[in-house]
Amino acid sequence: GTRMAGRGALIVFEGCDHSGKTTQCRRLVEWLQQEQIPVEPFRFPDRTTAIGQMINGYLSNKQDIEDHAVHLLFSANRWELVPKMRTLLESGTTLIVDRYAYSGVSFTAAKEGFTIDWCKNPDRGLPRPDLVLYLNLTPEAAAMRGTFGKERYEQTDMQLRVAKNFQLLKESYWQVSDVAHGPLVNQSWHKTYQGCDQGCSG
Ligand code: NYM
């Protein structure tokens, strides 16, 4: 779409479990606040909504939901936040998002009987990120960072399939950071950020 001066940037962090997304999101939000850039954190799934609570029940193994149905719930959980996201972006607020549709596709497509194409469909039309920061950590290294919890999907074989799917989804505007080799939010990244500060293609 048209790029309008003054819009916020939509910046997404992706990666496997334990890759450090949440920490990096927090650090970036704090840095932008220090720079007096209007910023709002988001995370998906957003477990605070009614749909998010169903997803939470599913992830914590309190509830079983059919695989296609839960995929659509994850997507619906993004769509229900879109009006708020668009309003903020248009008012000049930068959004730092912990997981987005790429997680949705990569996790479901790691299950038996799902194609990437089918998984992409419900998220088509979501606001397009200006930048996706992919935290590159092998599932083996991620497992060494701490024990996987009891949540669904937290097994090394699942994480390996998820990591492969992320590689298949990689687009030209993704920035890949090798987590093992130092901090993500560094000088070169700041340059990238300033490059997409002008707007958000939606
Ligand atoms: N997850 C996350 C999905 O399976 N589909 C999605 O659309 C999203 C956003 O939920 N293992 C999975 C990935 C994680 C789990 O994420 C919960 P987090 O960041 O640990 O709350």
Any atom of ligand 1 within 6 Å of the Cβ of 14: no
Question: Which one is predicted more confidently, 139 or 69?
Answer: 69
Question: What percent of the chain has a predicted confidence (pLDDT) above 90?
Answer: 67
Looking at residue 43, its pLDDT comes to: 98
**Which among 26, 103, 132 is the best mutation to test ligand 1's pocket, defined by most ligand atoms within 8 Å of the CB?**
103
Looking at residue 179, its pLDDT comes to: 63
Any atom of ligand 1 within 6 Å of the Cβ of 99: yes
Backbone angles phi, psi at 53, to 5 degrees: -70, -35
Looking at residue 2, its pLDDT comes to: 46
Looking at residue 5, its pLDDT comes to: 55
Question: Which one is predicted more confidently, 149 or 99?
Answer: 99
Any atom of ligand 1 within 6 Å of the Cβ of 107: yes
ipTM value, please give it.
0.98
Token couple for 148: 């996987």
C-alpha span between 195 and 190 (Å, rounded): 9
C-alpha span between 9 and 198 (Å, rounded): 7
pLDDT at 42 over 70: yes
Token couple for 84: 């708020």
Mean pLDDT, all residues of the chain: 85
C-alpha span between 110 and 143 (Å, rounded): 18
Q: Which atom of ligand 1 is nearest to the CA of 45?
A: 9
Which residue type does 122 have?
A: P
Any atom of ligand 1 within 6 Å of the Cβ of 44: yes
Any atom of ligand 1 within 6 Å of the Cβ of 104: yes
pLDDT at 85 over 90: yes
Token couple for 169: 């989804």
Q: What is the largest CA-CA distance in the chain?
A: 47
Any atom of ligand 1 within 6 Å of the Cβ of 74: yes
Looking at residue 174, its pLDDT comes to: 81
Tally the C-alpha atoms within 13 A of residue 96's C-alpha that lie toward its C-beta.
Answer: 20
C-alpha span between 125 and 116 (Å, rounded): 16
User: Considering only 28-32, 56-60, 194-198, which range has the smallest mean pLDDT?
Assistant: 194-198
For residues 91-118, give the mean pLDDT: 97
User: Considering only 36-45, 137-146, 186-195, which range has the smallest mean pLDDT?
Assistant: 186-195
Give the pLDDT confidence of 128-183 residue by residue, as tens digits. Answer: 999 999 998 876 777 777 777 789 998 888 999 999 999 999 876 787 776 654 44
pLDDT at 198 over 50: no
